[in-house]
Amino acid sequence: MKKNVFLILFSLLPVLGFAQGNCHLVDEICQKARQFANSGDTETALKGLRRAQNDNELRACPGFYKIANLINEIEGKKKSGSIVKKTYTVNGVSFNMVQVDGGTFTMGATSEQESPYNDEKPAHQVTLSSYMIGETEVTQELWQAVMGSNPSYFGGAKYPVEEVSWDDCQEFIKKLNQLTDGHFRLPTEAEWEFAARGGNRSKKTQYAGGSNLGSVAWYEGNSGNTTHDVATKSPNELGLYDMSGNVWEWCQDWYGSYSSSAQTNPTGPSSGSCRVLRGGSWLNNARRCRVATRDRGAPSYRDDYLGLRLAF
C-alpha cells in the first residue's frame, strides 16, 4: 500500500465507521503501519496509527488495543535507537537494507583522519535526509540471481561481486528494480561516507567500525590477496559490514573537488569523466581504507577490486 493510499484510509475512518462490519480494518491498519515502520518510515506509520487511535467508533472494536500497543512498540524502538532493517528476496536470495537516520556531519579530512589526501579537503558540513543502505556489499549470489551470470574473478557465493563497472551496476539496479518493484540505486558519495562513519551513532574512528583496521576490514595486511565472504568482520555503529576493505564500492556521483560551503543532500558535480569509488579493498593499505578516502574510475572500468553497495 503506498503512503498516500495508506493515509487516505485513515482520513476515511469517520465515514467508514467501525461498527462490527469494519473492525477487520484494525488488523489491516496495524499490518500496513508495521510495513512502513519496518521500511524505515516510522513517521507515516505513527501518523496513521494516531489518527486511528482518535476515532471514536473504532474504540468499540475488540482489537482496538492493538493500535496503542503498536504505537508503543514503534516509539520504543525509536527511543532505544534500534537499528531498522528491511529484508528483500530475489529468486531465492535475500539481502538486508538498513535505515540511516538523517543528520548533519563533517565530511572529508576531519581531525581523526591521519594523513588525509588532498582531495579530502576542505572538510565541510553536510546535511542528509534519511535513507536506506545495504547491510553488506552486493554478493555474487545476488548478482547471479538478478543478472543470470557472475563476472567475478574470485569465486564464492557470499563473496562481494567484483569485476563490475559503474555502467554494469546501473544495469544490475535496473533489473533488480524490475524484479522487486523497488527504487534501488547507488548511494551518493555523501550518503556513503555518513553511513561508513556510523551516521548519528558515529564514534569518529578512522575506519568503518573502529580504529583497529584488522578487526573491521579485509585489506592488504590480512586478505591473502583475495576477497572474502561479506559480514565476516565486525560491523560499524549502524550494523554495516565491509565499508572499509574487501572491495571498493561505486557511488552515484561524478568525481569532483570539494567545496567549503555547507550542503544539503549533495549529489556531486553535474558532469565529469570519472565516478566516485569508496572504501578501499583487499589489496589496499590502511590509509586507503579510511572512511574519508576517495578514489575514482571511468564508468566503463572493471577490475577484481571494484564492487557496489545498494541504497534507496
Q: What angle do CA 96, 102, 103 make, to 5 degrees?
A: 135
Q: What is the pLDDT of residue 253?
A: 98
Q: Are residues 29 and 161 in the same domain?
A: no
**Parts of the chain with a pLDDT under 50:** 1, 5, 12-20
What is the tally of structural domains in the chain? 2
Dist. CA 279–CA 283, nearest whole Å: 12
User: Is 226 a member of any domain?
Assistant: yes
User: Is 312 a member of any domain?
Assistant: no
From 80, 107, 125, the end of a domain falls on: 80
Q: What is the pLDDT of residue 52?
A: 87
Q: Are residues 93 and 189 in the same domain?
A: yes
248 close to 260: Cβ distance less than 8 angstroms: no
Q: Are residues 89 and 65 in the same domain?
A: no
Q: What is the pLDDT of residue 79?
A: 59
Dist. CA 72–CA 34, nearest whole Å: 12
User: Is 257 a member of any domain?
Assistant: yes
Dist. CA 163–CA 145, nearest whole Å: 17
Q: What is the pLDDT of residue 36?
A: 82
Dist. CA 205–CA 234, nearest whole Å: 14
Q: What is the pLDDT of residue 44?
A: 86
Q: What is the pLDDT of residue 13?
A: 45
The pLDDT tens digits for 216-260 are 999 999 999 999 999 999 999 999 999 999 999 999 999 999 999
Q: What is the pLDDT of residue 200?
A: 94
| CATH number of the structural domain spanning residue 292 | 3.90.1580.10
Question: Residue written as cell 508495521?
Answer: 34
Q: Are residues 170 and 296 in the same domain?
A: yes
Q: Could you tell me the three cell numbers for 47?
A: 501518523
Domain range holding 64? 3-80
Q: Are residues 110 and 241 in the same domain?
A: yes
Instruction: Point out which residues pair with 106 in neighbouring strands.
Output: 125
Q: What is the pLDDT of residue 160?
A: 98
Q: Are residues 303 and 206 in the same domain?
A: yes
Q: Are residues 197 and 271 in the same domain?
A: yes
User: Is 111 a member of any domain?
Assistant: yes
